[in-house]
């Protein structure tokens, strides 16, 4: 038997229901993983609330976990029982003690990386790998603005970009979050709802604006992200923590010859080879301390609703995980 969190209908965190459930033997091409730590992402909140209708109901949410291979189906090469692994999946099912999953999605974990680090930050770090390496050129000649700079993805992005010599400006929701962003590599950080926000960005960039904005807040910051850009700047909107962005006119982009992108991590994997390439770049970044996380906030699987409440209260992103 497996213990699972099931969603029967979309709604608040209370729809996350703890149940037990029988688990089949893995099919051909699959492995069965016993989870040790399960990741909690904002995507899971969108799935639970119904903003994304990508999970067939009733269903088990969750896109990532780390654990140990317990059983191996037919036609699987390269894995052994007892191996420590991790995975990302768009087919969900991670909020569970066990999962049967295609071996194609599974990656062996380096011994140096802890289960909780991987469960809390693998998907986030893969997102940062995509943002830095796969959308537009990010290098030491660039000045960038990172919204939600102290959030889960935001802090890794600031750390990784600043380690490359990129000049990083952060924005956060409140004053008390500023000091942490400085530790994560921001040379200056502003509160996002500051009335003088765009003026301050211009002042600090000698009147030019920034080359790239990485915006994960969406609705509340989108406009100031556009006004913060230099001519020929690039806006990468990769999230919508404050709500979806409203439609935008092409003529708005033409005002400064701007480019815009709305990337989704899973589209950037493409092939197993690319998935492995991105993952090894992330594992190396963790091992070399280019990106680091030290605070972890565990919840037991049956308390998944409290984990969601904490995430939605703008706390704990990149720290929260579930213990099966
Ligand atoms: N495109 C992709 O493939 C991809 C991959 C991973 C994540 N994402 C998206 O990236 C975003 C950030 O993910 P994350 O893991 O970094 O999340 P997180 O750790 O929970 O951080 C989100 C931050 O957003 C800010 N925020 C602003 N308005 C908010 C609101 N109304 N409610 C909650 N938070 C608000 C908060 O920081 P302040 O208080 O400082 O404003 C909060 O800490 C999410 O939207 C997620 O879905 C996208």
User: What pLDDT, in 10s, does the model give residues 299-309?
Assistant: 999 999 999 99
> How many Cβ atoms sit within 10 Å of the Cβ of residue 263?
15
CA of 238, closest atom in ligand 1? 1
Rounded to 10 deg, the angle between the 115-133 and 152-163 helix axes is 60
pLDDT attached to residue 317: 80
Indicate where the chain has its CATH 3.40.50.720 domain(s): 135-262
CATH 3.90.180.10 placement within the chain:
2-123+268-323
Distance CA 122, CA 109 (A): 11
Could you tell me if the CB of 239 is within 6 A of ligand 1? Answer: yes
pLDDT of 163 reads 98
Rg (CA), the chain: 20
CA-proximal residue: ligand 1, atom 37 (nearest)? 148
Architecture of domain 135-262 in this structure: 3-Layer(aba) Sandwich (3.40)
For the segment 100-117, the average pLDDT, to the nearest whole number, is 96
Q: Is the pLDDT of residue 315 over 90?
A: no
Ligand 1 centroid, distance to 46 Cα (angstroms): 11
CA of 19 to the centre of ligand 1 (A): 29
With 0-12 / 13-18 / 19 or more C-beta atoms within 10 angstroms meaning exposed / middle / buried, residue 192 is buried
Q: Which atom of ligand 1 is nearest to the CA of 315?
A: 43
Task: Centre a 10 Å sphere on the Cβ of residue 53 and count the other Cβ atoms it contains.
Answer: 10
User: 214: CA distance to ligand 1 center in Å?
Assistant: 12
The 10s digit of each residue's pLDDT in 199-238 is 999 999 999 999 999 999 999 999 999 999 999 999 999 9
Nearest CA to ligand 1 atom 41: 173
Q: How many CB atoms are located within 10 Å of the residue 28 CB?
A: 10
Fold of 2-123+268-323: Quinone Oxidoreductase; Chain A, domain 1 (3.90.180)
CA of 42 to the centre of ligand 1 (A): 7
Q: Is 216 in the pocket of ligand 1 (CB under 6 A)?
A: yes
Ligand 1 pocket, mutate which of 88, 134, 148 (most atoms under 8 A from CB) = 148
Across the range 120-143, mean pLDDT stands at 98
Q: Which pLDDT belongs to residue 269?
A: 87
CA of 94 to the centre of ligand 1 (A): 20
- Please state the atom number of ligand 1 nearest to the C-alpha of residue 149: 40
User: How far apart are the C-alpha atoms of 148 and 158, rounded to whole Å?
Assistant: 10
What are the tens digits of pLDDT across the range 74-105?
999 999 999 999 999 999 999 999 999 999 99
Residue 235: per-residue pLDDT: 98
Q: What are phi and psi of 185, to 5 degrees?
A: 110, 0
Helices 115-133 and 272-287, interaxial angle, to 10°? 110
| SS3 of residue 62 by DSSP | coil
Burial 91-130 (b: 16+ CB within 10 A, else e): ebbbbbbbbbbbbebbbbbeeebbbbbbbbbbbbbbbbbb
Is the pTM here over 0.85, yes or no?
Answer: yes
34 three-class SS: strand
**Is the CB–ligand 1 distance for residue 148 below 6 Å?**
yes
**Residue 74 DSSP label:** T
Question: Does ligand 1 come within 6 angstroms of the Cβ of 124?
Answer: yes
* Residue 27 CA to ligand 1 centre (angstroms): 36
In short, whether 151's Cβ falls inside 6 Å of ligand 1 is yes
Q: Which of 111, 81, 130, 104 is nearest to 281 (CA)?
A: 130
CA of 3 to the centre of ligand 1 (A): 28
- Ligand 1 atom 5 nearest Cα: 127
What lies within 8 Å, CB to CB, of 79 at 6+ separation is 31, 69, 72, 85, 103, 106, 108
Question: What distances in angstroms separate CA 236 from CA 109, 155, 240, one per listed residue?
Answer: 30, 16, 12
Task: Name which residue sits closest to atom 36 of ligand 1, judged by CA.
Answer: 314
Is the C-beta atom of 310 inside 6 A of ligand 1? Answer: no
Helix (H) or strand (E) segment spanning residue 116:
helix 115-133
**Over the stretch 249-297, which tens digit does the pLDDT of each residue have?**
999 999 999 999 999 999 998 899 999 999 999 999 999 999 999 889 9
């Amino acid at each position: 038997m497996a213990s699972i969190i099931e969603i029967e209908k979309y709604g608040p965190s209370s729809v996350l229901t703890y149940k037990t459930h029988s688990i089949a033997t893995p099919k051909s091409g699959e492995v069965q993983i016993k989870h040790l730590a399960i990741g909690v992402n904002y995507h899971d909140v969108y799935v639970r609330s119904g903003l994304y209708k990508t999970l067939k109901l009733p269903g088990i949410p969750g896109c990532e976990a780390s654990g140990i291979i317990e059983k191996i189906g037919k036609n699987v090469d390269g894995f052994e029982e007892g191996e420590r692994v991790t995975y990302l999946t768009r087919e969900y099912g991670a909020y569970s003690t066990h999962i049967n999953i295609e071996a194609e999605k599974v990656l062996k974990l380096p011994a140096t990386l802890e289960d909780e680090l991987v469960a809390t930050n693998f998907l986030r770090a893969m997102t940062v790998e995509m943002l830095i390496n796969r959308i537009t050129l990010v290098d030491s000649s660039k000045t960038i603005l990172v919204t939600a700079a102290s959030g889960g993805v935001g802090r890794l992005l600031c750390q990784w970009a600043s380690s490359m010599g990129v000049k990083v400006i952060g924005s956060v929701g409140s004053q008390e979050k500023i000091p942490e962003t400085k530790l994560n590599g921001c040379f200056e950080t502003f509160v996002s709802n500051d009335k003088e926000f765009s003026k301050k960005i211009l002042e600090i960039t000698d009147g030019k604006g920034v080359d790239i904005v990485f915006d994960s807040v969406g609705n509340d910051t989108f406009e100031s992200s556009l006004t913060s850009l230099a001519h020929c700047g690039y806006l990468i909107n990769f999230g919508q923590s404050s709500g979806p962005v409203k439609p935008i006119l092409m003529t708005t982009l033409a005002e400064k010859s701007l480019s815009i992108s709305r990337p989704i991590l899973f589209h950037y994997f493409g092939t197993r080879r690319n998935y492995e390439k991105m993952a090894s770049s992330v594992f190396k970044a963790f091992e070399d301390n280019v990106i680091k996380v030290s605070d972890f906030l565990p919840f037991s699987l049956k308390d998944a609703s409290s984990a969601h409440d904490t995430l939605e209260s703008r706390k704990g992103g990149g720290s929260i995980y579930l213990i099966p």
